[in-house]
Amino acid sequence: MQPTAATPLHAEVPPLHGRSNPADVADLIATVEDDQVAACFRALEPEQRVDVFEHLGQHDRERLVQALGQPELAQVLHGMCSDDRAAFFRHLPEPSRLALLPLLTPAEQEDVAHLMAFPEESAGALMSTEFAAVPPDIPVERAIEELRALAPRRETIYTVYVVDSERRLLGAVSLVDLITAPAGSLVREVMDPDVVALPADADREEVARTIAKYDLMAVPIVDPERRLLGIVTEDDALDVIELEKSEDAQLASGIAPDPAGTPYSQTPARLLVRRRVVWLLVLLLTALVTARVVAAFEATLASVVALAFFIPVVTGSGGNTGTQSATLMIQALATGDVSVGDWARVFIKELLIGAALGAVLATVIYLIGLAWPDARQVAPVVGATMVAVIIWANLLGALLPLLLRRLGIDPAVAGAPVVSTVVDASGLLIYFGVARLLL
């Protein structure tokens, strides 16, 4: 990632869009004080309000719920896309949810309840029920006529799904294919029957990956009988990937992710402390094992104090090496490049890599130790330890994510803090073991 300007327009380019863009207006509302937010929202044209509301984060949406009257809220809720509306209700605190549900029509209430029943991170929770579907045996001209009428009430009509009388998915056809089809063709003749579909319980990351892999504009979600339940569009997939990206990085650094994805500047310090302190405490208690290891070798340490100089060097190098291999493996697992069954191949590859890295680092630290009078005595110990610790840390970093995946735990928790804390204790055990052997 390179440093980028805050504005999407370069200084030399004259402004090509004004403040009328819903995403920009939403940004503006996010900066307004609580007592101004309703007035600001009311200043919008009624037809703009839904678009702006959909671009707001959950925090600002809830501020508006507090500030606006029921008729205004009802108008916004009626206009929202079904997936956005369900996500909004999902993240709402129970009392607000109960207060707002009666503002919806019975059909909308049923739709929200239906979508909220799917687990939080599943395809079902992400999908919109506003897709365009046509029967197979009508001419393309009639399909286009139907789409023209449907367009305003559908998430997308660029991909049109072909379903039978029981809503079973038969195929898909793009709007371009309909438009460019020879006059009089039937939908069935121009549709693609090999359509990629996902079940409603698929993980949202799988949804995003499928859309990216097959370059889809939307992926249909089906039930076990192949009945079309909804669609997830490409822009929702993009949002998911952005959210997963930050969640994974936070998990890897020992921070409990925030499901609503509230930005840093809007998260109170109190909440950040709560999301961070648990892992820090767990790791602190784990680090006491390391303290015990050092204590067990008190006598060795008392006779050769120079050994203490290299404690941070040994633990640091081990932690850095393990962090590297863990990062590569977490990524390889996430993209499906490596699976748990490949552990033997990973073991051999990382054994070789660890040996090569260990040899380089050990040689450097050994030569430096020899050149440092106070440390000359322990140089062979540090050198020998370095080879072993690097190989061990490298294997641990690579295999821990595989083990976690095998146990059904998200491998992203095998981030730097966890790996280096585990490596610290075992690394120092190796260090003092070698010291007792050589000195």
Instruction: Kindly identify the residues of this chain, within the stretch 386-415, that bind a copy of itself according to CB under 8 A.
Output: 405, 408, 410-412, 415
The least CB distance from residue 418 to a copy of itself, in Å, is: 9
**How is residue 190 written in tokens?**
């121009």
Site for a copy of itself in 253-282 (CB under 8 A): 253-255, 263-265, 269, 272-273, 276-277, 279-281
When asked if residue 81 is in the footprint of a copy of itself (CB under 8 A), the reply is no
- Residue 382, CB half-sphere, CA atoms under 13 Å: how many? 27
Kindly tell me which of 38 and 144 has the beta carbon lying closer to a copy of itself: 144
When asked if residue 39 is in the footprint of a copy of itself (CB under 8 A), the reply is no
Contact 262, 60 (CB under 8 A): no
Tell me the C-alpha distance between 336 and 329, whole Å.
10
Decide the pairing of beta strands 133-134 and 159-163. parallel
* Interface pick for a copy of itself out of 56, 87, 173, 357 (rule CB under 8 A): 357
Helices (H) and strands (E) in the chain, counts: 21, 6
When asked if residue 198 is in the footprint of a copy of itself (CB under 8 A), the reply is yes
- Tell me, what DSSP letter sits at residue 411? G
The end-to-end CA distance of the chain, in Å, is 48
The least CB distance from residue 170 to a copy of itself, in Å, is: 10
Q: What are phi and psi of 326, to 5 degrees?
A: -65, -40
Contacts of 102 (CB under 8 A, 6+ apart): none
When asked if residue 66 is in the footprint of a copy of itself (CB under 8 A), the reply is no
Tell me the C-alpha distance between 84 and 279, whole Å.
33
The least CB distance from residue 122 to a copy of itself, in Å, is: 9
The least CB distance from residue 95 to a copy of itself, in Å, is: 29
Residue 199, judged by CB atoms within 10 A of its CB (0-12, 13-18, 19+), counts as middle
* Interface pick for a copy of itself out of 201, 343, 347, 380 (rule CB under 8 A): 201
Kindly tell me which of 108 and 234 has the beta carbon lying closer to a copy of itself: 234
When asked if residue 226 is in the footprint of a copy of itself (CB under 8 A), the reply is yes
When asked if residue 324 is in the footprint of a copy of itself (CB under 8 A), the reply is yes
The least CB distance from residue 407 to a copy of itself, in Å, is: 9
Kindly tell me which of 115 and 414 has the beta carbon lying closer to a copy of itself: 414
The least CB distance from residue 335 to a copy of itself, in Å, is: 7
Query: Dihedral angle at the C-alpha atoms of 420, 271, 247, 330, nearest 10 degrees?
Result: 10
Report CA 105 to chain centroid distance, whole Å: 33
Among 124, 272, 133, 276, which Cα is nearest to 198's?
124
Tell me the C-alpha distance between 82 and 172, whole Å.
21
Kindly tell me which of 113 and 278 has the beta carbon lying closer to a copy of itself: 278
* Interface pick for a copy of itself out of 58, 129, 320, 377 (rule CB under 8 A): 320
When asked if residue 185 is in the footprint of a copy of itself (CB under 8 A), the reply is no
When asked if residue 375 is in the footprint of a copy of itself (CB under 8 A), the reply is yes
* Interface pick for a copy of itself out of 302, 367, 370, 438 (rule CB under 8 A): 302
Per CB under 8 A, the segment of 60-68, 84-92, 105-113, 176-184 that binds a copy of itself is 176-184
Q: What is the per-residue burial (b if ≥16 Cβ within 10 Å, else e) of 332-350? A: bbbeeebeeeeeeebeeeb
When asked if residue 144 is in the footprint of a copy of itself (CB under 8 A), the reply is yes
When asked if residue 84 is in the footprint of a copy of itself (CB under 8 A), the reply is no
When asked if residue 426 is in the footprint of a copy of itself (CB under 8 A), the reply is no
Q: What are phi and psi of 230, to 5 degrees?
A: 180, -175
Site for a copy of itself in 99-138 (CB under 8 A): 121
The least CB distance from residue 73 to a copy of itself, in Å, is: 23
The least CB distance from residue 102 to a copy of itself, in Å, is: 30
**How is residue 99 written in tokens?**
């207060």
* Interface pick for a copy of itself out of 39, 98, 117, 151 (rule CB under 8 A): 151
